[in-house]
């Protein structure tokens, strides 16, 4: 295969992965707005960007990171000083006032397959000022990714998902996912009793969700509801990465399905660094933490000893 043919094949591969078809059914946001009534816009500053804000943003950039397609590393922006900040502020304010983003700024990586029109509607329903939503729309309008090979860059348009590496992306994704969760888990009997103050229905960290229920049937109901609501914004439950665990004195497998796929049962799982066991025992979590601490300790540089005292290991700068 020629270099050009190889480049075209990689481009076709990533285009198919990153561009997902529209959901077969989406939310009727007119009905959703009517159901919740008028929503006041949040009281946020929508005025011009100040030079000081730009300087703060530049200072927060990490050094020694790979630059974008413009090949401008963070160190160059920092070395530009006040003059660089003023030029960037002027450019950003032009984009802000006109709600138009330069074509080069629309190039980048994308992840997930969230339906963007649904995302903009959800933001408006959450009270995000329309001027901000319009800027987001412009940022994602005709957005594209690039495949880099030995022959150069080849761009292609991306119509779904949010931008990978953008500090805004987690906020956008979490806002849409929170809307989906509220639609999926709306029964007063969902979840488990929690401290006599209500019910705990789920544990969420980004797209890592743990559904909680007091019976097999309730868990199946919550799982099916979440999968159904998620598809309306272009998301889905990954049955391959999902598992189920029944908490009790004895490990008893249960049947929970995502579509036609039955989820695998297991006896413990790691959630945000902690090991949760089916019997509520903490021994497994303690052993895991000791193992990780020991591994970290032995990876450290050796500590010289002088007169029976350990000297601190030299640190890298």
Provide the Cα torsion 12, 15, 21, 23; round to 10°.
150
More confident residue, 209 or 190: 209
* The pair of three-digit structure tokens given for residue 107, joined into one six-digit string: 């190039």
Q: What is the domain count for the chain?
A: 2
| 205 and 165, same domain (yes or no) | no
Residue 132 predicted with pLDDT over 60 = yes
99 contact partners, CB below 8 Å, separation of at least 6 = 131, 134, 135, 137, 138
Question: Is 307 among the domain residues?
Answer: no
More confident residue, 315 or 144: 144
8-state DSSP, 151: T
Pairing of strands 208-211, 202-205: antiparallel
Nearest CA-CA partner of 135 in 175, 105, 110, 179 = 105
**Mean pLDDT (whole number) for 196-224:** 88
**Mean pLDDT (whole number) for 136-155:** 81
Contact predicate 18/158, CB 8 Å: yes
> Angle 130-140/116-125 helices, nearest 10 degrees?
170
Provide the whole-model pTM: 0.74
User: Alpha-carbon distance 52 to 157, whole Å?
Assistant: 34
Residue 312 predicted with pLDDT over 70 = no
Which pLDDT score is estimated for 52?
Answer: 96
At residue 198, the 3 state secondary structure works out as coil
Question: Is 306 among the domain residues?
Answer: no
Helix segments in 190-301, DSSP class H? 216-231, 283-299
**Mean pLDDT (whole number) for 161-182:** 89
Question: Is 171 among the domain residues?
Answer: yes
| 174 and 231, same domain (yes or no) | no
pLDDT band at 311 (very low <50, low <70, confident <90, very high): low
Q: Which of 150, 178, 206 is the last residue of a domain?
A: 178
What domain range includes position 116? 3-178
Low-confidence winner among 48-57, 90-99, 179-188 (lowest mean pLDDT):
179-188
**Mean pLDDT (whole number) for 221-240:** 92
B/e letters for 97-127, b = 16+ CB within 10 Å, e = fewer, are eebebeeeebbbbbebbbbbebbbbbbbbee
| 54 and 75, same domain (yes or no) | yes
**Mean pLDDT (whole number) for 69-73:** 83
| 154 and 59, same domain (yes or no) | yes
User: Alpha-carbon distance 19 to 215, whole Å?
Assistant: 38
Task: Map tokens 């990689």 to a residue.
Answer: 10
At residue 166, the 3 state secondary structure works out as coil
User: Alpha-carbon distance 317 to 314, whole Å?
Assistant: 9
| 157 and 199, same domain (yes or no) | no
| 123 and 227, same domain (yes or no) | no
Which pLDDT score is estimated for 219?
Answer: 93
Q: What is the mean pLDDT of the chain?
A: 85
Question: Is 38 among the domain residues?
Answer: yes
Q: Which of 251, 267, 283 is the last residue of a domain?
A: 267
């Amino acid at each position: 295969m020629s270099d050009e043919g190889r480049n075209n094949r990689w481009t076709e591969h990533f285009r198919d992965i990153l561009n997902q078809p529209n959901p077969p059914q989406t939310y009727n946001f007119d009905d959703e707005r009517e159901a919740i009534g008028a929503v006041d816009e949040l009281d946020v500053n929508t005025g011009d960007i100040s030079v000081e804000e730009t300087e703060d943003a530049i200072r927060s950039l990490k050094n020694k990171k790979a630059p974008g397609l413009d090949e401008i590393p963070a160190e160059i922006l920092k070395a530009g000083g006040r003059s660089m900040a003023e030029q960037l502020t002027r450019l950003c304010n032009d984009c802000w006032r006109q709600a138009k983003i330069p074509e080069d700024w629309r190039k980048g990586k994308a992840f997930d397959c969230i339906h963007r029109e649904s995302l903009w509607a959800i933001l408006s329903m959450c009270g995000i000022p329309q001027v901000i939503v319009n800027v987001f729309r412009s940022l994602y309008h005709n957005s594209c990714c690039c495949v880099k090979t030995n022959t150069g860059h080849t761009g292609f348009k991306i119509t779904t998902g949010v931008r990978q590496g953008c500090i805004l992306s987690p906020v956008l994704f979490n806002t849409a996912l929170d809307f989906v969760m509220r639609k999926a888990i709306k029964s007063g009997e969902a979840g488990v009793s929690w401290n006599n103050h209500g019910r705990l229905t789920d544990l969420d960290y980004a797209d890592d969700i743990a559904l909680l229920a007091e019976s097999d049937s309730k868990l199946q109901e919550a799982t099916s509801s979440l999968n159904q609501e998620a598809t309306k914004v272009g998301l889905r439950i990954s049955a391959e990465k999902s598992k189920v665990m029944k908490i009790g004195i004895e490990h008893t497998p249960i049947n929970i399905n995502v579509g036609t796929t039955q989820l695998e049962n297991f006896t413990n799982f790691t959630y945000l660094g902690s090991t949760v066991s089916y019997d509520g025992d903490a021994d497994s979590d303690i052993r895991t933490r000791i193992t990780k601490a020991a591994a970290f300790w032995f990876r450290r540089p050796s500590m010289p000893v002088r007169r029976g005292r350990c000297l601190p290991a030299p640190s890298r700068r």
